């Protein structure tokens, strides 16, 4: 998602992974699961939490966990990720279109979805319309209202024609707090167009205190509370955080008092934030350094802390707040999404466990006298920090060596060599070559990895 104009979510549950092979659920049960995710999980959670088994422990059920698929371009990596892990989510909400309101009229972008792939996942699917800030009137007979009406009709018609059984239609709208009542009028006009499809919206914690929000929420079948945001940094020294767990808990507690079912959106992403030479904010990038930054630009990375999200998952799963029906993760991981968690991290956090890296060192002979060195992360969390590879052998002399990917030689003797990198960033499942060495004779090279 392109960064919105508001200081809020710059981008916006899960059944455990299936054991063995099971027959896919029927359409009846698939629809039932979708409805439970939207309306019933909070009630069931409170029921089970209140009934204790004979051993005196509290019996609980997990919140259903879903994920946003927010890519505008469904590349090969999106297809591969959904095929590999889409069924491990309780449902998906996919970006279907975006609207930007310009002076010369609305600019609409439609996402080319793979409907057959979504059908094959056999999970509830929601379709999302992303709308930027709107400066005009919310009257229901304006050109903007007609554009919105036509767009929603078209998105639903496309899904129906492709035999995609939608569980919900969601609107993610950058609405000013003072205009929530107008937004409600738009929703009331749109709702009859959806038929049996649930109408949901995204909402900000700041909206909860507005008198108009209660009526807005009740014009829907539920809403998604976005508790992740990035305010415009004052300067390069300012603290960064994408999701404050304490603030998220307070927002959910407030939402629980409104009597409307809701889910909470939690982040998995990060950003590279750019500042000029004087430390003033210039912009941000979701996929590494963007081109065109001026000379002397300073960069900082802000990322979602998995450990803090684990605390929220545990709290809300063990005792679901009233009205909370699930968690929507933003966003579904792909291997090309470099500023996002990898799948092992998300899967671990969804289970309420803490992800951790596990680095391995591997040596491989490319010819009898040349040994290549590889480093991989076989854990569930990112590794960030220094790494030293200690290499040793007997009965031969070191003839040549080189460090790669930031590694360099920091010490060598007749039968030892150390390659070190002061900063290694390695995500779960990633593997890279760290260097090589050539000996005068064919000998086995022993290796040891040191991290801090």
CATH of the domain at 368: 2.60.40.710
Give yes or no: residues 85 and 203 share one domain.
Answer: yes
Domain-embedded: residue 286: yes
Give yes or no: residues 131 and 264 share one domain.
Answer: yes
CATH of the domain at 225: 3.20.20.80
Residues spanned by the domain of 183: 27-269+304-350
Distances (CA, A) of 401 to 7, 414, 422: 50, 13, 18
The reported pLDDT for the residue numbered 268 is 96
Give yes or no: residues 275 and 263 share one domain.
Answer: no
Residue 61, pLDDT > 70, answer: no
d(CA 423, CA 385): 5
Cβ neighbours around 403 below 10 Å, total: 21
Going by C-alpha positions, the residue among 60, 63, 35 that lies closest to residue 325 is: 63
Give yes or no: residues 254 and 403 share one domain.
Answer: no
d(CA 118, CA 241): 33
Domain-embedded: residue 10: no
DSSP 54: T
- The predicted-structure confidence for 217-229, as pLDDT tens digits, reads as follows 999 999 999 998 6
d(CA 58, CA 67): 28
- The predicted-structure confidence for 148-195, as pLDDT tens digits, reads as follows 999 999 999 999 999 999 999 999 999 999 999 999 999 999 999 899
The reported pLDDT for the residue numbered 412 is 84
Distances (CA, A) of 141 to 147, 164, 185, 187, 205: 10, 30, 11, 13, 30
Instruction: Tell me if 165 sits within 8 A of 122, measured CB to CB.
Output: no
Q: Identify each DSSP E strand in 268-343 by its residue range.
A: 270-275, 281-285, 298-303, 324-330
Average pLDDT, whole number, for the chain? 84
Instruction: Tell me if 276 sits within 8 A of 296, measured CB to CB.
Output: yes
Helix 343-350, helix 76-85: angle, nearest 10: 30
- Length of the chain measured in residues: 452
d(CA 123, CA 119): 8
The reported pLDDT for the residue numbered 289 is 56
Residue 132: which pLDDT band, with cuts at 50, 70 and 90?
A: very high
The reported pLDDT for the residue numbered 302 is 81
Give the global pTM. Answer: 0.81
The reported pLDDT for the residue numbered 287 is 62
């Amino acid at each position: 998602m392109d960064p919105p104009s508001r200081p809020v979510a710059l981008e916006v549950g899960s059944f455990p992974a299936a054991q063995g092979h099971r027959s896919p659920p029927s359409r009846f049960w698939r629809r039932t699961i979708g409805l439970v995710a939207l309306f019933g999980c909070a009630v069931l959670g409170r029921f089970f939490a209140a009934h204790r088994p004979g051993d005196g422990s509290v019996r609980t059920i997990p919140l259903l966990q879903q994920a946003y698929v927010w890519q505008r371009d469904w590349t090969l990596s999106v297809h591969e990720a959904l095929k590999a892990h889409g069924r491990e989510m309780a449902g998906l909400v996919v970006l279907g279109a975006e609207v930007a309101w310009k002076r010369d009229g609305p600019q609409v972008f439609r996402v080319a979805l793979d409907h057959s792939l979504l059908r094959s996942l056999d999970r509830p699917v929601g379709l999302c319309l992303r709308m930027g800030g709107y400066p005009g009137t919310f009257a229901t007979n304006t050109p903007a209202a007609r554009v919105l009406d036509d767009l929603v009709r078209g998105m639903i018609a496309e899904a129906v024609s492709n035999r995609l059984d939608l569980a919900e239609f969601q609107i993610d709208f950058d609405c000013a707090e003072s205009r929530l009542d107008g937004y409600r009028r738009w929703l009331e006009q749109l709702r009859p167009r959806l038929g049996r499809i649930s109408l949901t919206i995204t909402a900000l914690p700041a909206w909860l205190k507005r008198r108009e929000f209660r009526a807005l929420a009740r014009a829907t079948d539920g809403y998604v509370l976005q508790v992740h945001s990035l305010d415009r940094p004052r300067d390069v020294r300012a603290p960064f955080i994408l999701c404050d767990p304490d603030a998220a808990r307070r927002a959910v507690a407030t939402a629980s008092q409104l009597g409307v079912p809701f889910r909470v959106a939690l982040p998995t992403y990060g950003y590279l934030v750019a500042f000029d030479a004087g430390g003033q904010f210039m912009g941000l990038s979701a996929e590494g350094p963007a081109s065109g930054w001026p000379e002397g630009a300073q960069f900082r990375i802000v990322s979602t802390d998995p450990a803090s999200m684990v605390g929220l998952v545990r709290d809300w799963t063990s005792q679901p707040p009233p009205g909370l029906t699930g968690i929507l993760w933003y966003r579904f991981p792909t291997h090309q999404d470099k500023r996002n968690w990898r799948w092992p991290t998300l899967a671990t956090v969804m289970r309420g466990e803490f992800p951790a890296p596990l680095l391995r060192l591997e040596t491989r002979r490319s010819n009898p006298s040349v040994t290549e060195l590889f480093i991989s992360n076989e854990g569930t969390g990112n590794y960030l920090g220094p790494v030293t590879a200690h290499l040793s052998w007997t009965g031969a002399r070191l003839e040549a060596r080189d460090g790669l990917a930031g590694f360099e030689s920091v010490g060598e003797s007749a039968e030892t060599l150390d390659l070190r990198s002061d900063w290694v960033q390695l995500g779960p499942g990633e593997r890279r070559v760290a260097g090589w060495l050539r000996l005068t004779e064919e000998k086995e090279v022993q290796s040891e990895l040191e991290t801090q």
